[in-house]
Amino acid sequence: MKTKVLAGMALTFCLALCGCGGGGQEPQDNQDSVHVHNYRETVIEPAHGVQGCVLHTCDCGSSYSDNYLGASGEALPTNRSYTFLMIGNSYTYVNDLWSMFNRVIQDEGYLDAMIDHVTEGGYDLIRFSNPTDPFGSIVEDRLNSHQYDFIFYQDQSLFPATSPDLFITGAKRMHDRIQKTGTRDVLYMTWGRKPTSPDLAANNLTYEQHAQKVMAAYEAVGEKEGIPVSRVGAAFYLVNASHPEIELYNADMTHPSAAGSYLAALCHFATVFGRSPVGCTFYPLSITEEQAGILQQAAHDAVFGDSLVKEEYRAEYKALVDG
Ligand SMILES: [Zn+2]
């Protein structure tokens, strides 16, 4: 979800009927008073309290906005409560990610969100998307009985690297099922194990390979299926590289610390609402204000900046998704 710099001007014809007010000031000619809007496009970057969009303004005073950043692509007003469903495993339920996400949402001026979750340790999207599975049937019930604004889902944390076919199939099935409800879905990109984790060698992976493969897998499916991706894994990748003193993992070197879950909540916020989380005044007690600022900037950069996936991994996963 990166912003594009738009050049050039859009011309829109506006008959005097439209009431845009410009007609009276136009030079008189043989075609009555026909004002031609001459819109200039300005990219409004996402900032604290500002949803990114493209603003079109004409000298006559007429203006409109479109191309809103955010998972829905629409302006999301603050004066309402949004509803969410989170589907996932311990990467979602450790530290009650939904609670931290709601704290960020409210700190940013939105009303208290209603956030449901269906979670089970070690679970994957193949099972969550299967209505005959014990937890897949709970997902099915929620989808049949509630209308959510947004639904997040994530897969087992190794699958994108070790069993990409399972990841791709599970994500597509979940997407297809949610599409039938008319709800916007968001892929929750997980992250590579901590660089010192013994899990990596046990799965014939380096940290770089695990982190890159997870990012590449989520982005490839997101691009192919048109699903927004909350690039939490990319934010982890940035912070691990530039601020290794901020501990994003708990003692098992896979699950998130409070700082890691906070980073996920910030990415989710930026992805859904198209606003920068930089400046959020809520942060967990385990980190300093300065560290909170570093995590907020990393979330901003991961969500709104260029992809961090290297070309070899992008090509590998594009082929898998297209195949
Ligand atoms: Zn005009």
CA of 274 to the centre of ligand 1 (A): 28
**How far, in Å, from the CA of 43 to the mean position of ligand 1?**
19
Expressed in angstroms and rounded, the spacing between residue 277 Cα and the centre of ligand 1 is 35
pTM over 0.95: no
Q: What is the mean pLDDT of residues 37-56?
A: 97
Tell me the per-residue pLDDT of 74-126, one tens digit each, with 9 for 90 and over. 999 999 999 999 999 999 999 999 999 999 999 999 999 999 999 999 999 99
Residue 8 has pLDDT above 90, yes or no: no
Write out pLDDT tens, residues 276-319. 999 999 999 999 999 999 999 999 999 999 999 999 999 999 99
User: Average pLDDT, stretch 171-199?
Assistant: 97
Residue 17's pLDDT band (cuts 50, 70, 90): very low
Distance from Cα 26 to the centre of ligand 1, integer Å: 10
On average, the pLDDT of the chain sits at 92
Residue 14 scores a pLDDT above 90: no
User: What pLDDT shows up at residue 184?
Assistant: 97
Residue 20 CA to its chain's centroid (Å): 37
pLDDT for the residue 25 = 45
Q: Please give the pLDDT value at position 33.
A: 78
Q: How many CB atoms lie within 10 A of CB 150?
A: 24
pLDDT of residue 31: 54
Query: Domain coordinates of the chain in residue numbers?
Result: 9-66, 83-322
Q: How far is the CA of 36 from the centre of ligand 1 (A)?
A: 6
With a pLDDT cut of 90, the percent of the chain lying above it is 89
For the 83-322 domain, the top CATH level (class) is alpha beta
The arrangement of strands across the sheet holding 53-57 comes to 9-14, 35-44, 53-57, 63-66
**Strands of the 184-188 sheet, one edge to the other:** 114-119, 83-88, 150-153, 184-188, 229-230
Please give the pLDDT value at position 7: 39
Q: Cα–Cα distance between 211 and 222 in angstroms, integer?
A: 17
